[in-house]
Amino acid sequence: MCGIAGWVDWSRDLSDQQPILKKMTDAITHRGPDAEGFWTSKRAAFGHRRLIVIDPEGGLQPMVYKDGDYTITLTYNGEIYNYQELRKELEEKGHVFRTKSDTEVLLHAYLEWQEDCIEHFNGIFAFGIWDERRSQLMLGRDHLGVKPLFFAQRGSAILFGSELKVLLSHPLVETEIDSEGLAEVFSLGPIRTPGHGVFKDIKEVRAGHYITFTPNKVNVKRYWTLESKEHLDDVNTTVETIRSILEDTVKRQLIADVSVVSMLSGGLDSSGLTALAAKEFAKNGKTLHTYSIDFVNNERDFEQDFLRRDLDEPWVKRVAEHIGTHHHTIVFGADKLVENLLVPMRARDLPGIGELETSLYLLFKEMKKDATVALSGESADEVFSGYPWFHQEQFLNADVFPWLVNMSFMLDILSEDLKAKIQPEQYQKQRFQEAVSEVPFLDGESSLQAKQRQMSYMFITRFLPFMLDRKDRASMMTGFEVRVPFCDYRLVEYLWNVPFELKSIDNIEKGILRRAFQHVLPDDVRNRRKSAYPSTKDAAYLQGISNWMLEVLNDSNSPILPLIDADRVRAIAEGKDEVISGTKARGLLDYLLQINSWLQEYHIHIRL
């Protein structure tokens, strides 16, 4: 994994612009702590920060192909999991390779198929290719959007990079936000609109898309989409297909020239992947190392809620012992979580979900001490329709995103002036209707089936990108790569058309996945009900962020003050609000603290 940066300008000579390019790549040193590289020409300047995972000697970037008087240059972040098959195919077509890297395979795939090369890749990737002979820049992103890619047009210039901070480091880009950007932050919260960069005139290449830029034209192409069709496989065939894809993708995603470990929560998703990975390790006489997170006094403080049924740790031990992994439990206290609250915001360059991101960052920071790559069970709930929202009428029939249904209290603390300018309820409904208009409904489905398909689309195309961003920024902030086997596009395509009643066979969420893991997990683990990523229940955490919020409210220079109902927020921080308290208060205060620091640290200019 790496960090990329680029600058193309058809009206300016960029040959001597490496100092600015270096400033852009320095902003993402954390993504690639092992090496840096630069390439400049008259019209294009590419930079790269490298985290060495495959072919330490041969995978240097930017990678350049020369043919006579022209060059084709690549800067790339990610992994192409089918690169070995592609390399063989390209060699049969006459291509000659100098390295063992997937980077060179991607470059030669472009030489062979040009833009269509992206349809040959199975992986997680974001890349920029400058084709000098065509005077064209191509930006491409993987099917599910696992790897990030932002861009901005400024006059004749195109700027791009792995993170927003790459663009914000360029003198042509100002830290401006308009009413639409504020609506993204305050109406939608951290789960924002795909393609929207929040900052004024900064955009994101959407998952499953590529964009080409030439002097006179910008062409946006969607190369991958979910296609609806009748699912004809019987139960056993469906189970075997899921099992086969997962076994194949886990095997592919274990390929690395550095140590690989696995995350393990004791839940179905991570346990199943860990079991498959451990089997591969055992073939080579190796023991897989696994990692989980826990909190100080968690057994004492734990409370059931909508998404969390029980403690993870007993199940983690059960799975680790059954599979035979070398397990590590990483434990944090409330003080550490409060102290590091702003790190994920700085990693994302936007406010996020607070403690749930902070603990993930701290976990990855510890895992990085032992390894460079990890497997994660992320995205199984989105792909297999595992969340409670999928079968409850109030969510299925809502006219906003399901995760916003019980979050209206977030809008209650906005100032009347801000509400008038961003119209938050209207903005939520507008973005929801845009998403609904994209859904490829299937003729002949019942009303309930159509609603469930719609729900699935919302989670795969709106909620999942947020979860993947969270994982990418939290891991890459520590120079750590996390791979997500459940995001293999072949699996997502297949599951998209499996009816909800089949996905939830045996009257349990993700029942079909439980059957697929029957050969590697004990029954009690397979039948454990869904319990979400853990959250601390320590009262000291809420007290810590409440005190911090009161300091913000008492500082007349705090930039968030004109945007909120300060009296209402003060009551919440003091524990005197009858509606917003406990878990609600914690999530809200987490978010507001991040917004205030974001506005302050990034020197954001609000243009309404």
Per-residue model confidence as pLDDT tens digits over 74-125:
999 999 999 999 999 999 999 999 999 999 999 999 999 999 999 999 999 9
* CATH number of the domain within which 259 lies: 3.40.50.620
Q: At residue 535, does pLDDT exceed 90?
A: no
Over residues 430-446, the mean pLDDT reads: 97
d(CA 141, CA 556): 43
Q: Is residue 84 located within the same domain as residue 135?
A: yes
Give a yes or no: residue 469 inside a domain.
Answer: yes
- As to burial, measured by CB atoms within 10 angstroms (0-12 exposed, 13-18 middle, 19+ buried), residue 429 is middle
Give a yes or no: residue 444 inside a domain.
Answer: no
* CATH number of the domain within which 129 lies: 3.60.20.10
Q: Crossing angle for the helix pair 424-438 and 447-458, nearest 10 degrees? A: 110
Domain of 591 in residue numbering reads as: 539-607
Q: Is residue 269 located within the same domain as residue 317?
A: yes
d(CA 603, CA 176): 9
**Domain boundary, last residue among 182, 197, 222:** 222
572 is in an annotated binding site: no
Q: What is the mean pLDDT of the chain?
A: 95
Q: Is residue 363 located within the same domain as residue 494?
A: yes
Q: Is residue 377 located within the same domain as residue 486?
A: yes
Give a yes or no: residue 506 inside a domain.
Answer: yes
**Domain boundary, last residue among 174, 192, 222:** 222
pLDDT of res. 1: 63
Q: Is residue 246 located within the same domain as residue 104?
A: no
264-298 pLDDT tens trace: 999 999 999 999 999 999 999 999 999 999 999 88
- Give the catalytic positions in this structure: 2
Q: Is residue 547 located within the same domain as residue 518?
A: no
Give a yes or no: residue 227 inside a domain.
Answer: no
102 is in an annotated binding site: yes
Q: Is residue 261 located within the same domain as residue 218?
A: no
Give a yes or no: residue 491 inside a domain.
Answer: yes
pLDDT of res. 306: 67
- pTM, two decimal places: 0.96
Looking at the 3D structure of the chain, how many domains does it have? Answer: 3
499-519 pLDDT tens trace: 999 999 999 999 999 999 999
Asked if 186 and 424 count as a contact pair (C-beta separation under 8 A), the reply is yes
Q: At residue 305, does pLDDT exceed 80?
A: no
Q: Is residue 514 located within the same domain as residue 582?
A: no
Over residues 542-571, the mean pLDDT reads: 98
d(CA 590, CA 153): 33
Provide the β-strand partners of residue 429. none
* Residue 152 CA: distances (Å) to CA of 194, 200, 233, 431: 15, 9, 45, 22
Q: Is residue 376 located within the same domain as residue 285?
A: yes
Helix extents (H) in 324-446: 334-339, 343-348, 355-367, 380-383, 393-396, 409-412, 416-422, 424-438
Q: Tokens representing 524? A: 């009690």
Asked if 36 and 64 count as a contact pair (C-beta separation under 8 A), the reply is no
376 is in an annotated binding site: yes
Give a yes or no: residue 228 inside a domain.
Answer: no
DSSP per residue, 37-59: EEEE-SSEEEEEEE---S-TTT-
pLDDT of res. 307: 67
Q: Is residue 184 located within the same domain as residue 278?
A: no
Q: Is residue 164 located within the same domain as residue 47?
A: yes
Tokens 């409210």 appear where?
Answer: 553
Q: Is residue 345 located within the same domain as residue 472?
A: yes
Handedness of CA 179, 588, 482, 270 (dihedral sign): negative
d(CA 84, CA 96): 14
Over residues 178-199, the mean pLDDT reads: 97
231-268 pLDDT tens trace: 999 999 999 999 999 999 999 999 888 899 999 999 99
Q: At residue 60, does pLDDT exceed 90?
A: no
244 is in an annotated binding site: no
Give a yes or no: residue 32 inside a domain.
Answer: yes
For the chain, the straight-line distance linking the first and the last C-alpha, in angstroms and rounded, comes to: 38
Over residues 549-556, the mean pLDDT reads: 98
